């Protein structure tokens, strides 16, 4: 008799290359904890349904605990026939407790088993990542509170645009991350549903109480349709989209900070802990941590794209293609785990250079404020925009800064300019004028900080 779980109808041996091609133990072994928890709960459910005696159920649960202890201690020995984590655990259970182990798989398929394992595993992973994400948000929020006085140029098109608070920039990233956090909380609800009891595709023929089984495993409920339940990997796709967008956000943070840390900008200095040197050029200090945050976004987008392509066009229910869900999932989860912690490390240890930020604030960045000065004197904005533009041009032809134009010069452009126009040229004043909710004024940024702090304490 074949030693394979499914060997009954086969007479010929499997091509050894096929065996290696088919095997998933190399990567799904990391699901061992989930696989054992799922099997222990299933044994209890079989017991409750009268398919195992209390003694048999107890023997299986205890035997599985011993298998788990071997994994925990690094003592579990994978054997040549161990195709996947389910096969490996059941093989070992059989060695430990004998014949009773053969009753564990009653009514169950590896199809509902793997779907359950992945959901259990991912649920814990999400909880860990959600913690890292909240820590990162906390770093941004606390820095924003602490460095509220710092002003810097804000950019559009990477061109100097208007002065903003450094804290406003920090918070702009923190708000993206809050959407990531909300998205992760939301998709967790769709992860935390139990496919166990769906069998191979048609359902379980024995009186298994799936609601009780779901509660036993900490699921919020069970999947409503067995054909969908065994093949649904939307929750993996959703997680991968979350991961891809999260990485896109981290990549954009990284890009900002790479620019800001160049000699040309010089707004921040990265801690040595997150930089490396060049093997050739002794003067170099490279922002590797940030470049990797930016670069690894590519691989996570690849993980997501790969899974969607795998799922596209699959016929109904389980197909072996679905085994290809795990490597991108593990890769994305591992990458995010590293990326979120590194991002928090970089952001909490970088040093800001307030003088360098100040030095880059030039009065041309207040051209809009000049236009707004006239707006406050009743001139329509469309006109004032032209007038301020003419002032910029005039300063350019004179070879002076915009702020160096005298009142007489300005009055040649419009009679509404008065002596108090000199007040336009304060950067702090400019920032403080942007006081509508969501703007860069101190009051507004402090309100943002308070709002996100409150949310983080809830979350």
Closer residue to ligand ARG in complex, CB, 6/381: 6
Report yes or no: 367 and 281 within 8 Å, Cβ to Cβ: no
> Nearest 5°: CA angle at 222, between 217 and 227?
125
Taking CB under 6 A as the binding criterion, the range among 110-118, 129-137, 240-248, 383-391 that sits at the site for ligand ARG is 110-118
Residue 263-302 contact track with ligand ARG, rule CB under 6 A, x = bound? ----------------------------------------
Q: Does 111 engage in binding with ligand ARG (CB under 6 A)?
A: yes
Given candidates 44, 92, 108, 110, which one binds ligand ARG under the rule CB under 6 A?
Answer: 110
| CB 34, min distance to ligand ARG, A | 12
Cα 233 to Cα 31, 54, 111, 298, 322: the distances in Å are 16, 35, 12, 22, 8
Q: Does 317 engage in binding with ligand ARG (CB under 6 A)?
A: no
Q: What is the DSSP string of 272-334?
A: GGG-B--SS-TT--B-HHHHHHHHHHHHHHHHHHHHHHHHTTPPSS--GGGGGGHHHHHHHHH
Q: What tokens were used for 126?
A: 């999400």
Residue 115-134 contact track with ligand ARG, rule CB under 6 A, x = bound? --------------------
Taking CB under 6 A as the binding criterion, the range among 135-143, 161-169, 268-276, 317-325 that sits at the site for ligand ARG is 317-325
Q: Does 232 engage in binding with ligand ARG (CB under 6 A)?
A: no
Q: Please state the φ and ψ torsions of residue 177, each to the nearest 5 degrees.
A: -70, -30
Please name the helix (run of DSSP H) or strand (run of DSSP E) that holds residue 155, with its range, or none: strand 151-156
* 414 catalytic per annotation: no
Q: Does 89 engage in binding with ligand ARG (CB under 6 A)?
A: no
Restricting to residues 363-402, which ones interact with ligand ARG according to CB under 6 A? Answer: none
| CB 77, min distance to ligand ARG, A | 20
Report yes or no: 104 and 42 within 8 Å, Cβ to Cβ: yes
Distance between CA 243 and CA 332 in Å, rounded?
Answer: 7
| CB 100, min distance to ligand ARG, A | 23
Report yes or no: 440 and 154 within 8 Å, Cβ to Cβ: yes
Closer residue to ligand ARG in complex, CB, 117/372: 117
| CB 311, min distance to ligand ARG, A | 13
Given candidates 84, 303, 369, 372, which one binds ligand ARG under the rule CB under 6 A?
Answer: 84
Q: Which of 278, 316, 386, 422 is catalytic?
A: 278
Q: What does the DSSP 8-state code read for residue 99?
A: G
Q: Which of 24, 109, 157, 386 is catalytic?
A: 157
Taking CB under 6 A as the binding criterion, the range among 147-155, 156-164, 236-244, 316-324 that sits at the site for ligand ARG is 316-324
* 279 catalytic per annotation: no
Q: Please state the φ and ψ torsions of residue 410, each to the nearest 5 degrees.
A: -65, -35
Closer residue to ligand ARG in complex, CB, 84/369: 84
Given candidates 24, 297, 440, 444, which one binds ligand ARG under the rule CB under 6 A?
Answer: 24
Contacts of 335 (CB under 8 A, 6+ apart): 243, 247, 296, 299, 300
| CB 140, min distance to ligand ARG, A | 38
Please name the helix (run of DSSP H) or strand (run of DSSP E) that holds residue 152, with its range, or none: strand 151-156
Report yes or no: 226 and 198 within 8 Å, Cβ to Cβ: yes
| Count of chain residues binding ligand ARG (CB under 6 A) | 9
| CB 103, min distance to ligand ARG, A | 20
Distance between CA 184 and CA 65 in Å, rounded?
Answer: 31
Query: Which residue stretches of 98-155 are H helix?
Result: 110-146
| CB 290, min distance to ligand ARG, A | 36
Q: Does 323 engage in binding with ligand ARG (CB under 6 A)?
A: yes
Catalytic positions are 157, 278
Residues forming the site for ligand ARG (CB under 6 A)? 24, 28, 84, 110-111, 114, 318, 322-323
């Amino acid at each position: 008799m074949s030693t394979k779980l499914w060997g009954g109808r086969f007479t010929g041996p499997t091509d050894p290359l096929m065996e290696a091609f088919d095997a998933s133990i190399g990567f799904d072994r990391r699901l061992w904890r989930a696989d054992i928890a799922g099997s222990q709960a299933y044994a209890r459910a079989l017991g409750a349904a009268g398919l195992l005696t209390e003694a048999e159920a107890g023997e299986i649960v205890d035997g599985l605990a011993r298998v788990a202890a071997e994994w925990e201690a690094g003592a579990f020995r994978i054997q040549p026939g161990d195709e996947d984590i389910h096969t490996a655990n059941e093989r070992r259970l059989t060695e430990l407790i004998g014949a009773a182990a053969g009753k564990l798989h009653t009514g169950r398929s590896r199809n509902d088993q793997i779907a359950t394992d992945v959901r259990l595993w991912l649920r814990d992973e999400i909880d860990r990542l959600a913690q890292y994400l909240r820590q990162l948000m906390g770093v941004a929020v606390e820095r924003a509170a602490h460095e509220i006085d710092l002003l810097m140029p804000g950019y559009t098109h990477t061109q100097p645009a208007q002065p903003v608070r450094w804290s406003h920039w920090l918070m702009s990233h923190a708000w993206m991350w809050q959407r990531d956090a909300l998205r992760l909380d939301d998709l967790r609800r769709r992860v935390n549903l139990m496919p166990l009891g769906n069998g191979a595709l048609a359902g379980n023929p024995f009186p298994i109480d799936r609601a009780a089984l779901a509660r036993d495993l900490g699921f919020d409920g069970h999947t409503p349709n067995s054909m969908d339940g065994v093949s649904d990997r939307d929750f993996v796709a959703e997680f991968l989209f979350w991961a891809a967008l999260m990485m896109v956000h981290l990549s954009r943070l990284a890009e900002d900070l790479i620019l800001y840390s160049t000699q040309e900008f010089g707004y921040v200095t990265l801690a040595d802990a997150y930089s490396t040197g060049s093997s050739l050029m002794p003067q170099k200090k490279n922002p590797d941590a940030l470049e990797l945050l930016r670069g690894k976004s590519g691989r996570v987008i690849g993980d997501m794209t790969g899974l969607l392509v795998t799922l596209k066009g699959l016929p109904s229910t389980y197909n072996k293609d679905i085994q290809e869900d795990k490597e991108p999932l593990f890769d994305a989860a591992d990458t995010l785990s590293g990326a979120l912690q590194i991002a928090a490390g970089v952001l909490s240890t970088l040093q800001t250079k307030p003088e360098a930020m100040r030095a880059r604030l030039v009065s041309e960045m207040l051209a809009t404020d000049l236009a707004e000065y006239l707006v406050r004197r009743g001139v329509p904005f469309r006109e004032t925009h032209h007038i301020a533009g003419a002032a910029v041009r005039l300063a350019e032809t004179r070879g002076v800064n915009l702020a160096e134009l005298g009142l007489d010069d300005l009055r040649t452009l419009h009679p509404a300019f008065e002596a108090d126009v000199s007040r336009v040229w304060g950067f702090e004043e400019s920032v403080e004028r942007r006081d509508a909710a969501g703007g860069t004024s101190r009051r507004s940024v402090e309100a943002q900080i308070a709002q996100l702090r409150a949310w983080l304490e809830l979350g």
